Structure 1
């Protein structure tokens, strides 16, 4: 089956298959435009794409995939140093970008994507093991690494999500996520093109734009859903949707409850990484619990281990690093065999670096990153996410991030950064101590105006200092 079978099987099914902002394109036009791009790629191993929220980006990505060329999305807001690293590390011979894009003297030649170009060349479907994408992801140290995502991994992930979310060609997907991450690009663009149905990318995930799109399936990150919940009229307009999905970061329980009250939807939460695509999710036909991400998708296995590699019990409270195995795993880090080897166990499990719990019924709860969200204080192992949830339960708190900071006696202490109104740090410490074990209370609370976040809404804890 073609990776983009929903597009290639019946390109004339929708006259408005893809809409980005106020511009629309039929499936037939998309296929012919993308084929014109493929004609110009002639045997290149990889090609960079200026990943703006535009029809040109969709055409460029599809063109690369038709030609069997691995697509390297370049964030449009990336700085010169990051951009130069991506170009150099990936070795791309060209950058696909809208006509008129300025040439970077230190970058590869620009191949313009002109939506007036058309081609009817027929390309054979590339082998399943060919790379589809190279997605650059930043770790805690060093330059971003290029995760090589195979075509079969993309197909397996999307097919498993179609099963979990009852995703069909009748769906109209609406989102406004960046097109250089798994969430916005793989799920948000390639999903409709494989599974059928239409896509409306609203360019900016504004609550009013979401409300006016009339979709059946909506994607967002927690900050988007928080903004939707703060606009009751926009939230109520989503009552007619079939499914609301949140990912890329943990959704606060208060936002889950607020959206349920306003939209009648219990939002679907899911978990994944660049290197694994989506591995765990709640289902369209099943229950949904605030703060949990459900069960492994079809053909995915998970386990929890401690620092020694021993299995951690699935009792709902024991913390362990989440390991995953399944058909959606990446092929490896480009040019980084050392990092690739370090990311896997001897028997092939991928180390996510995320701390989680699993209850006896298999429900997964993601606590956070092992490097920043597992706090070892006075002999206790404390999950930052549990403390953050407790802080967010206070009516005066709108945002919270918890980290471990050095302590001369405890090793680490629980330190919180909180956006709040009408409450003191001491009051918040007492509030948490009344909800959780006393050793989990923050020993220090910093009241701040805002938390540093990535474009997908994840708090950048490395920028918080205690």
Structure 2
């Protein structure tokens, strides 16, 4: 490991537990970044100064890249620490158009030329961005709150019995949606929702605590290895 200069994480949110274990095992502080096919790499933690990297954050816009957060009412909340909004990106890194799909292209860009990523994030007082997840599957609207499935997943991965986890919102007449989680367990362990709830109450707010639990042998993933959240939701249908 002495010759290892840099390790990076991308494609999916890096759990805080993995961030810490990797540093302990290798001495490397993982560099986490944010990008997608349409924009290349847009946000990044400090590439030169590892001590400035924060677990759970994807950092700041790269040179010549602009980023902003737009809330559900269309208000720019970029400079309101902790406020959530859809991440929009502008810069020379952004693609020009979807080939042969002018209507889709027009839908994914604002009138002033910002690309709408479809991801929801927040920004702290230091200007660092945090990904809450895809608006379509990772934002759970429960009892008037907008909850980040990724945030809850990061906490659940700290449970000593949980090997892997997927959090989704499922319909509820009373709450709009409730938090549900599917998990795989470490060998020779068990877990019930009655055991999980009090463990969560000590670490996260009660309204973020899963109300439904499924223990499975394997979580569904697509060809890229990403969680298939639609398939996870179907487990609770």
TM (norm. structure 1) is 0.48
Partners of 1:352 and 1:328 lie apart in 2 by 13
The residue number in structure 2 matching 1:381 is: 146
Q: Give the structure with the larger helix fraction.
A: 1
The residue number in structure 1 matching 2:44 is: 281
Q: What does the per-residue CA deviation read over 1:284-304, in whole Å, with 9 as the maximum and x for residues that have no partner? A: 222111111111100111111
- Residue from 170, 178, 195 that aligns with 1:413: 178
Q: Find the residue that maps to 1:463 and give its secondary structure.
A: helix
Q: CA deviation at 1:318?
A: 2.1
Q: CA deviation at 1:308?
A: 2.1
The residue number in structure 2 matching 1:447 is: 215
- Within 5 Å, give how 1:266-305 maps onto structure 2: 266-286=29-49, 287-305=52-70
The residue number in structure 2 matching 1:248 is: 11
Equivalent residues of 1:355, 1:369 under 8 A apart: yes
The residue number in structure 2 matching 1:397 is: 162
Q: Which structure is larger by alpha-carbon Rg, 1 or 2?
A: 1
The residue number in structure 1 matching 2:228 is: 460
The residue number in structure 1 matching 2:127 is: 362
- Residue from 350, 368, 391 that aligns with 2:115: 350
Q: CA deviation at 1:322?
A: 0.6
Partners of 1:247 and 1:438 lie apart in 2 by 30
Q: Find the residue that maps to 1:271 and give its secondary structure.
A: strand
Q: Find the residue that maps to 1:312 and give its secondary structure.
A: coil
Q: CA deviation at 1:358?
A: 0.6
Give the unaligned 5+ runs of structure 1: 1-237
Q: Find the residue that maps to 2:156 and give its secondary structure.
A: helix
Q: CA deviation at 1:425?
A: 2.6
Q: CA deviation at 1:255?
A: 1.0
Q: CA deviation at 1:454?
A: 3.0
2:101 equivalent to 1:336: yes
Q: Find the residue that maps to 1:416 and give its secondary structure.
A: strand
| Shift in CA distance, 330/313, structure 1 to aligned 2, threshold 3 Å | closer
Equivalent residues of 1:356, 1:364 under 8 A apart: yes
Q: What does the per-residue CA deviation read over 1:292-338, in whole Å, with 9 as the maximum and x for residues that have no partner? A: 11111001111111112111254543221111111111111111111
Equivalent residues of 2:193, 2:211 under 8 A apart: no
Partners of 1:426 and 1:322 lie apart in 2 by 37
- Within 5 Å, give how 1:36-47 maps onto structure 2: none
Partners of 2:78 and 2:196 lie apart in 1 by 32
| Shift in CA distance, 256/432, structure 1 to aligned 2, threshold 3 Å | same
- Within 5 Å, give how 1:126-137 maps onto structure 2: none
Equivalent residues of 1:322, 1:354 under 8 A apart: yes
Q: CA deviation at 1:415?
A: 0.8
Q: Which has the higher contact order (CA 8 A, sep 6+)?
A: 2
Q: Find the residue that maps to 2:122 and give its secondary structure.
A: strand
Equivalent residues of 2:132, 2:138 under 8 A apart: yes
Equivalent residues of 1:304, 1:312 under 8 A apart: yes
Give the unaligned 5+ runs of structure 2: none
Q: CA deviation at 1:433?
A: 2.4
The residue number in structure 1 matching 2:199 is: 431
Partners of 1:302 and 1:281 lie apart in 2 by 12
Partners of 2:120 and 2:103 lie apart in 1 by 23
